[in-house]
Amino acid sequence: MPDVTSILNAIERGDPSAAAQLWPLVYDELRRLAGQLMVRERPGQTLDATALVHEAYLRLAGASGDGWTNRRHFFAACAEAMRRILIDRARARQAEKRGGQRERIDVELEQLAARYSDEEMLAVDSLLDGLTRTDADAAELARLHVYGGLSIEEAGAILGMARATAYRNWSFARAWLRAALSPGERPA
């Protein structure tokens, strides 16, 4: 059975049958990641893990092979697509529920693994955008960990980081986010 990277290379070369080989190969892993994301969502969602994977597929299908040079790039793109879907849904609910008005909220980083409210999800997403300008690697690791439901080791492996580097980046991201959430402090 071919590996993900060789299928991605075939897609990039224009092989029309390669895309059909890719999704069955990665579907179970994507479904697991989506399931971890959905556990954190509030109850009563109309979107379930299967629907999240399918919607991510639809978003990525138009970009068949765009920049997917290896397994890491592909799974990072999938995690980002799922994150954006959930963020878009949270923004839509917030706009309907709150008239689009934003207000500052406090988020405990230790509670990020628990269910997110729409306000928390939007606040953390905004902070991670700020962290990207400071340290893109730490921000990408934090996104995979917080929104992708991956452990630090799993997120680091997808990003091609050594275990120690992944933990160092997570420590920095967590400290940066805490500073951003503390009243009167602004991260550099």
pTM of the full predicted structure? 0.51
Tens digits of per-residue pLDDT, 145-154? 877 778 899 8
| pLDDT score, position 43 | 65
pLDDT tens digit sequence for 6-18: 888 887 787 878 7
Which three-class secondary structure state does DSSP give residue 72?
helix
Span 62-75, pLDDT tens digits: 655 556 777 777 88
User: Does 160 have pLDDT greater than 60?
Assistant: yes
Angle between helices 18-39 and 71-98 (to 10 degrees): 50
Per the CB < 8 A criterion, the answer to whether 5 and 19 are in contact is no
Q: What does the pLDDT read at residue 113? A: 45
